[in-house]
Structure 1
Amino acid sequence: MGRFLLSLSLLLILLMACNNKTATGNTSLFNGKTFSGWEGDTLSTWRIINETIIGGSLDETVPHNDFLCTKRSYTNFILKLKIKLTGHEGFINSGIQFRSKRLSDPPYEMTGYQADWGNYYWASLYDESRRNKTLMAPDSLEVLGWINVNDWNDYEIRTEDRRIRLYINGHKTVDYIEKDLDIPQEGLIGLQIHGDGKALVAFKDIFIEELE
C-alpha cells in the first residue's frame, strides 16, 4: 500500500507539472516598449504607442503593402493577438502573415499565408504574393455578427502540420488543410498594413505557444 501511495503521489506531481507547463507555454512576442525580435520600417510605417504596435496613416495614403515581421521562424503554434483596423479612404485592409518569408523584390513585401482582416476579407485565409487568392473564408454575413468593426478583436491562428484554423472573438472562421505538398509549412510571422488606403492598424497582446 505504501508503494502504491508513493507511486500515486509521484504520478499526481508529474500531472501537475505537465499542466503547469501547458498553462505557462505562451510566450509574448511584443514587450510593449521596443521592436525587439521584430524587423521592418520602424522609422515611418511602424511605431509603438501606449504598448501597441501601430502601422499606417490616416493623413496620407499608404504607398504600398508593408510588413513588420519576426526575426525567427515558426512552424506549429497557437498565435493570439488583438487587432484594430480603422480608415476612411481607399483600400482599408490588414492581416497577419505566418509561415511566410520576405521577398527581395520588392523588399517590403512578404509571401505566404495571411490571416486576412478588412472589408470582404474578415477573418479569411489568403495566400499573399504566391497563389494570390483567398484559400478559405467564412460566411460573409455570419462573420459580420462576430466582429467589432473599428474596434479591438481577438484573432487566433492555429497551425498543426498541414492544418490551419482561424478564430475571431472565439468563433472559428477557417479550417483549412493544405494539399499542395510544395507549400512550406514553416516561416516568419508578419503584421501587415495594406497599401492604397488611408488606414491605421493596431496590434497588441501578441502571444505564441509553440506546439511540438
Structure 2
Amino acid sequence: MNFQSYKVSSILIALCCFCTLSCKLTFNPLFDGETFKGWEGDTIKTWNIIQGEIRGGSLSEIVPHNDFLCTTNTYENFVLKLKFKLEGSEGFINAGVQFRSKRLSNPAYEMIGYQADLGNNYYGVLYDESRRNIVLQGLDSVATSQIVKLKDWNDYKIRAKGKRIQIYLNGKQTVDYTEADPAIVQQGVIGLQIHGGGKALASYKDISIRKKAPLR
C-alpha cells in the first residue's frame, strides 16, 4: 500500500469510528416542546404545555390525587435526561419521574414501578411506587439540600441498564442501585408525576433519551 492509499484508509477508518461513537451518543427528544405527541394522560385538566414546558398540577387548587403523563412507548435499557422544577407552598409538594413502569387499572390514575422522586426529603432518591412503597436508595436530605435548586430548574439523568439503576441530580450521583428481586420487571413506560394532596406545580422540559441495546 502506498502512502496516499494508507492516508485515505486512515481517514475512512477515523470517520467510521467517529460516526459509530456519534450514533452511540445520540439523544432523541421525547417531547417536541409543542404537542403531546408520544404521550398520553389527562391533558384536559391536569397536564398542559406552556412556553415549551410540560406542566402538571395547580398552585391555586389542591391536586386531588396522583396523576401521570406517560410515554406511549416502552423502554428497557436507556439514559434519560430532563429538566424539572417543582413549586408549591401548601400541602404535600412532591412529584417524580417514573420509568420501567406501567399504569394500574384500580385506580387508573396510579402507576407501579421505579420513580426518580422529587420533593422535600425525596430529591434524588429512587422510590418504588405502588409496589414496595419504599425508598430503595438515595442520599440523605442534608446532602441533597446542597445539590438541589429549590423552585428553580434542576437536571435529572437516569441510567438504566440491566438490573442496575443510576440517578444523577444536577450532575451529582445520588443513586447506584442493583435490583436483587428477579421478579421485578425491568422495562416499561416513562411517566411524569404530579403528586396529590397539595397546591403544587411540576414542570418538565428538555426531555430526551438514548436507548441502549438489550443485554444478552
TM-score bin, normalised by smaller chain? over 0.9
Task: Report whether the alignment pairs 1:135 with 2:136.
Answer: yes
Identity %: 55
> What SS is found at the alignment partner of 1:116?
strand
Aligned residue identity for 1:9: I
Aligned twin of 1:176:
177
> What SS is found at the alignment partner of 1:48?
strand
Aligned residue identity for 2:45: S
Aligned residue identity for 2:182: L
Cα distance in 1, alignment partners of residues 66 and 150 from structure 2: 21
Q: Deviations over 1:55-95 (max 9, x none)?
A: 00111110000000000100011100000000011100000
Deviation at 1:17, TM superposition (A): 1.4
Cα distance in 2, alignment partners of residues 206 and 153 from structure 1: 12
Aligned twin of 1:80:
81
Deviation at 1:20, TM superposition (A): 2.5
Deviation at 1:6, TM superposition (A): 4.5
Cα distance in 2, alignment partners of residues 159 and 88 from structure 1: 33
Of the structure 1 ranges 157-166 and 138-147, higher mean CA displacement relative to structure 2 is found in 138-147
Aligned residue identity for 1:19: L
Deviation at 1:4, TM superposition (A): 4.2
Q: Pick from 13, 17, 21: which aligns with 1:15? A: 17
Aligned residue identity for 2:14: L
> What SS is found at the alignment partner of 1:142?
helix
> What SS is found at the alignment partner of 1:79?
strand
Q: Number of aligned pairs?
A: 211
Deviation at 1:47, TM superposition (A): 0.4
Q: Deviations over 1:108-131 (max 9, x none)?
A: 110000000001111100000001
Of the structure 1 ranges 135-144 and 159-168, higher mean CA displacement relative to structure 2 is found in 135-144
Cα distance in 2, alignment partners of residues 68 and 89 from structure 1: 23
Cα distance in 2, alignment partners of residues 16 and 76 from structure 1: 23
Cα distance in 1, alignment partners of residues 149 and 114 from structure 2: 23
Of the structure 1 ranges 139-148 and 100-109, higher mean CA displacement relative to structure 2 is found in 139-148
Aligned twin of 2:150:
149
Cα distance in 1, alignment partners of residues 199 and 7 from structure 2: 66
Aligned twin of 1:166:
167
